[in-house]
Amino acid sequence: MTSGAHVMTRSSRFSELRSDPLVLNSAFLMLTTVLGAGSGFLFWLIVARLYPTAQVGQASSLLSSVALLSYFSLFGFSTALVRFLPISRNRAEDAGTAISAVTVCSVVVNLGYVVIGPWLAHDLGFIRDTITHVVLFTLLAGGAAVNLLTDSIFVAERATRANLLINGVLMSIAKLALPAVAVSFGAFGIFAASGIASTLAAVVSIVVIRRHLHIRVRARISWAALRNMVSYSLSAYLSGTLNLIPQIALPIIVLHQLGPVVAAVYFVAFQISNMVSSASYAIGESLFAEGAHESRSLKALAGRSAGLMLAVTGTAVLVVIALAQPILRLFGADYADTGTTTLILFTVSSLAVAFNTWASFLLRVTGQLQALVVANVAYLITVLGVALWMVPHGLTWAAIAWGVGNLVSGLVAGIALLRPPFGNADWDV
């Protein structure tokens, strides 16, 4: 083959990749994640310079709680929209119902937290110091939940470029600009800066969804649309909750068994490896959306997404392994001395996370939610079982528990995918 032919072949392959919605949407989602992570780092850097350390600690705890409250407020509707919106005959009704339901749920969940949160952690009592604080907390935490839901609409509609501009650019700019004007409000000002940015992104997202995606969402709940989605959404919600438990429990186990210094090393190592895994999550979301859109065989889509995940995640794994010690030295010599092996193991585990993510999203596409729940039960039992048994012997066992749990869950999901009718030759959707 001549050099010109090689150039033409590479050019045609590049053109195919540029026109492949799976690749494009994955790329935009990954860029959004990178911008979000970067702006988050700068946000806390700015906050640390402007606010007393105690207020930063209070706000970080509150924002961590808000992240969980947002997830619990979704009740699986984000997953249901990605699955059903591409094939819906009434997109406005389905999307409007989901947004309205999540808004109502978030109000209930957030008000519940106003009552319970300060009782569990006295340092968070400032969220109910005044009625204004209560109202603002409820609204802004609700805005964060709605913003997560609108992200799913962009994914479902193959419009992740808009999501990049709104969440990656606009929200990041707002998030970085607001802390300086909220200093007088203390810890609540830090929360409000982040909450206003998320709520602004949610409002702009709804405007874009109405005007540019031509989905005329309204603030109303259609009981017919709710019935169509609720079974799928609640099953997805259950499996997601099972998946979340080890992520919450594992750092607590490390803290209890090995102490706060080792827990800090764990936190840094896990966050770095989670950035590696973010690529597979983005590709998995795109796979999920394409599975609802794709008229070609699901088997071909599964193969393309698996290859993309392996290429991107594998490259990131090799880079982090090569630079593990220098990366940790940025945080301090103690991190590099005690956490290098743990970081390498967590990073290698990203390959198991990618496999589990790939198989789990395929179960969502094919509607095998019972199998997905079983896979997440296996994941939960394996991660917590290995961690509780072996973490007292050293931090590396936390990384091993994470990797083994994801591998077991992926294998359980993979076995379900091989069974008829989804184990046939075509996997037609």
- The pLDDT tens digits of the residues spanning 18-31 come to 567 888 888 898 89
pLDDT tens digit sequence for 162-220: 999 999 999 999 999 999 998 888 888 989 999 999 999 999 999 999 999 999 998 88
**CA-CA distance, 301 to 426, in Å (whole number)?**
11
User: Average pLDDT of 305-331?
Assistant: 91
Distance of CA 419 to the CA centre of its chain: 29
The mean-pLDDT minimum among 47-51, 94-98, 385-389 falls in: 47-51
Residue 377, pLDDT > 70, answer: yes
More confident residue, 153 or 124: 153
Sign of CA dihedral 56, 57, 59, 65: positive
Residue 327 pLDDT grade (very low, low, confident, very high; cuts 50, 70, 90): confident
Task: Identify the residue with better confidence: 137 or 62.
Answer: 137
Q: Is 332 left (phi over 0), alpha (psi -120 to 50) or beta?
A: left
Cβ burial of 299 (10 Å; 0-12, 13-18, 19+) is middle
55: pLDDT strictly greater than 70: yes
pLDDT value of residue 195 = 94
Average pLDDT (408-424) is 81
Considering only residues 8 and 86, tell me which one the structure prediction assigns the higher pLDDT. Answer: 86
The chain-wide mean pLDDT, for the chain, equals: 86
- For residue 8, what pLDDT is reported? 45
pLDDT tier at 34, thresholds 50, 70, 90: confident
**Range with the poorest average pLDDT among 34-43, 142-151, 154-163:** 34-43
Closest listed residue to residue 70, CA positions, set 228, 232, 244, 321:
244
Q: Position of tokens 């607590």?
A: 252
Dist CA 203 CA 179 (whole Å): 20
Helix axes 131-156 and 186-211, enclosed angle (nearest 10): 40
- How big is the chain, counted in residues? 429
The pLDDT-based confidence of 13 (bands split at 50, 70, 90) is: low
- The two three-digit tokens of residue 313, written as one number: 């995640």
Closest CA to 198 of 157, 247, 139: 139
The whole-number average pLDDT for the span 88-98 is 92
* pLDDT in the model for residue 396: 94
User: For residue 422, what pLDDT is reported?
Assistant: 52
Per-residue pLDDT at 120: 67
Residue 426 has φ and ψ, to the nearest 5°, of: -100, -30
Both ends of the chain: CA-CA distance in Å? 38
Mean pLDDT of 229-244: 88
The whole-model pTM stands at 0.81
Q: What confidence tier does 4 reach under pLDDT thresholds 50, 70, 90?
A: low
Q: Is 339 exposed, middle or buried (0-12, 13-18, 19+ CB in 10 A)?
A: buried
- Among the listed residues 71, 75, 92, 87, the one whose alpha carbon sits nearest the alpha carbon of residue 219: 92
DSSP string, 40-59: HHHHHHHHHHHS-HHHHHHH
- Report, as an integer, the average pLDDT of 324-344: 86
328-352 mean pLDDT: 89
The whole-number average pLDDT for the span 353-357 is 96
